[in-house]
Structure 1
Amino acid sequence: MTANSTTNIWTAADKDRLKWTMDSDEFVRLGKYVIERRLGETPGFAELDPYVSHYVKTDPKIPGWLQVRFSNRPMPGRRTIKGGIAIESGPTLVYSRGPSGEMAVIMYPVKADVAEVTEDAIILRIGFLDYWDLYLGVRQDMRDLVAYAYATSIDLKPSWGQSLRVKWLRLTRRQIIDDEHHYPLIGSVAWKLVKMAGAGSFTGISRLAAPAVLGWFVGRYGTDWLTSWIP
């Protein structure tokens, strides 16, 4: 006969979920202020701001949700196939909380009547992020967003730093393409190198060192460390 347990198996997960929820609620409540400040410090924003409005929005019907969106703009000299003036919208960055308390930071590209990019979205990061994780990440998020505005608009010329930043994000971040989830390209490249090492393509010390060096590279540079130095 099995003795009745006095332990509530739901308590631990519920306690964690409550903590993550409180932290993300606090970030959503105060996020507008730090976002506006960080946008003002972001290279390229001062030049973009006079021509494209931006909005930082929350929605009480969607707890744990905050959006940074750039407005639509007409595209002078560009026409749709129906003859109307082409319109460009975006880009957009969304902070969104999942059912277990995890937060996703997702960036959507510029969209236009006459052009589009390959990906539907780039997932900058996703996980259990407390208030300070989210707060400290805003500087990086705004740099990514403004760089994305320049890199995905056909009417703007990104700087070398902005181009490099977006290329790095496409290499190291998960993406949504045609409504399907795609893992980072760097992951598949790393796996091929590991298989090469195991198959004997490398010899001697190289075979032993390759996985360790590869792991160090992905672990260090697959984060925001590199792009934090890019303008």
Structure 2
Amino acid sequence: MTENAERNIWAAAHKERIKWNEGSDEFVRLGKRIIERRLNETCGFAELNPYMSHFIETDPKLPGWLQVRFGNRPMPGRRTITGGIAVESGPTLVYSRGPSGEMAVIMYPVKSAVSNVEEDAIILRIGFIDYWGLHLGAQQDIRDLIAYAYVTSIDLKPTWGQRQRIRWLRFARRQIVNGEHKNPARTTAMWKLLGLVGSGSVTGIFRLLGPGLVGWLIGTYGNDWLKSLIH
């Protein structure tokens, strides 16, 4: 028997999976404390909370899974097509671990019988994220969730910053639309820009600035962009 045949070819991947699982398990274990702190630090939550109860949920049957969910709210003055009072269900943020230890962070919009947005969900990030990556990232995840609540509710008025944040996420992140995954518009735009620069079809000063602009875009947003190509 050769040396290569004696080596356990499954050990390395198993060891990596255990490492990532331990990190996300720890995040889920401490999730309620982490999320509550981030919610209370986020502008707009204090005003929303009295009208939409929130729940931070885990499930022993789903290791590596945590959900931040806002409940239902009656919509005074709005009726469904059957004449009943319309009800709005709040936004949801889900952390879900895949079979190889990778984590998906997915955000779902406010929904009601009288108004819905085009996308079913925005995928904030997917990848191998350790405990501290999840812990520190939760601050921005919760900011995104509260901004999403204000932007996707028909009865709320978002701030300029909240509008721009969700506009950017819709441009830069993958979405689920009608149950299907949709690549981010940013990926298409980046390829078009690279094609223009590479083909020499841009002219004048932009031709000179083109490579520098592409470098700046990749340097600024490269990690997200490259991840969007891989996943």
1:197 aligns to what? 197
Distance 1:138 1:2, change over 3 A: closer
Q: CA deviation at 1:183?
A: 1.2
2:172 aligns to what? 172
- Separation of aligned partners in 1, 2:161 and 2:66: 27
1:43 aligns to what? 43
2:121 aligns to what? 121
TM-score, structure 2 normalization: 0.91
3-state DSSP of counterpart to 2:30:
helix
5 Å-filtered alignment, 1:1-231, equals 5-203=5-203, 206-207=206-207, 210-221=210-221
| Superposed CA offset, 1:161-191 (max 9, x none) | 1111101111111111111111111111111
- Separation of aligned partners in 2, 1:85 and 1:209: 56
- Separation of aligned partners in 1, 2:42 and 2:73: 21
- Separation of aligned partners in 2, 1:116 and 1:71: 16
CA contact (8 A) 2:55 2:69 kept: yes
- Separation of aligned partners in 2, 1:175 and 1:35: 23
TM-score, structure 1 normalization: 0.91
- Separation of aligned partners in 2, 1:3 and 1:137: 43
| Superposed CA offset, 1:76-98 (max 9, x none) | 01001000111110200000000
3-state DSSP of counterpart to 1:124:
strand
- Separation of aligned partners in 2, 1:219 and 1:102: 24
Distance 1:76 1:204, change over 3 A: closer
1:184 maps to a residue whose letter is P
3-state DSSP of counterpart to 2:25:
helix
Distance 1:174 1:4, change over 3 A: closer
- Separation of aligned partners in 2, 1:163 and 1:61: 37
3-state DSSP of counterpart to 2:63:
coil
The structure in which a higher percent of residues are helix is 2
Distance 1:14 1:48, change over 3 A: same
Q: CA deviation at 1:199?
A: 2.2
| Structure 2: stretches of 5+ with no match in the other structure | 225-231
| Structure 1: stretches of 5+ with no match in the other structure | 225-231
Identity %: 68
1:229 aligns to what? none
- Separation of aligned partners in 2, 1:205 and 1:89: 50
Distance 1:132 1:9, change over 3 A: same
1:227 aligns to what? none
CA contact (8 A) 1:172 1:222 kept: no
Of 136-145 and 199-208, deviating more is 199-208
2:228 aligns to what? none
CA contact (8 A) 1:175 1:182 kept: yes
1:161 maps to a residue whose letter is G
